[in-house]
Amino acid sequence: KAMTDAGTEDPRTISKTLKSLDHDALDIGLAACVQSGSNINVDIFKATPTAEKLTADTAVFSFGARYRSFHAVLARTLFVNTTRSQTEAYKALTEAHGTLLEGLKAGAVIGEVVKEARTILSKGVPGATIPECMGSGVGVLVEEPGLRLTEDNTRVIEEGMSFAVVT
């Protein structure tokens, strides 16, 4: 909450917010994981590092933090020298991700929002295997089981719920 209240426009504000945090209340919430190559587990909640050497084409970095009993998760994917089809797939993925971020608001049904995002992906990347789960609620648990972002989740989003969107 402190970081979202601070905004991201002014680095001085973020720096001041970070300095005011109780660093003793900060802990690892999800072990850091780096993956690359052709065998990447996109479900960051279940991903584990492998002994495979890193490759120079794709890399996924993920980790989670816990502050005063509440979790946050961050993951980033980096592509190097993408093909045209990878670039087009990433555009669809970015659109689907945005749809999830915009749709996960109080009053919305989780499954309906996920279905809309999956439709964007299936049209933008025909024939692609789309993971069943596109993220989860985060809070006291790093992955809230009743708030998994799946099409069959009929849960209505309430004010104050937080999500980790994984696309």
Entry pTM: 0.75
Which of 10-14, 17-21, 48-52, 159-163 ranks highest by mean pLDDT? 159-163
Report the pLDDT value the prediction gives residue 6, as an integer from 0 to 100. Answer: 43
Residues near 125 by beta carbon (within 8 Å), at least 6 away in sequence = 88, 89, 92, 93
How is residue 121 written in tokens?
């992906």
How is residue 77 written in tokens?
């994917």
**What is the percent of the chain with per-residue pLDDT over 70, rounded to a whole number?**
87
Report the pLDDT value the prediction gives residue 76, as an integer from 0 to 100. Answer: 82
> What pLDDT digit, counting tens, does each position of 65-98 carry?
888 888 888 888 888 888 888 888 889 999 999 9
Residues near 44 by beta carbon (within 8 Å), at least 6 away in sequence = 30, 33, 60, 62, 73, 75, 164, 166
Instruction: Kindly indicate the confidence band of residue 163, based on its pLDDT and cuts at 50, 70 and 90.
Output: very high
How far separated are the first and last CA of the chain, in Å rounded? Answer: 23
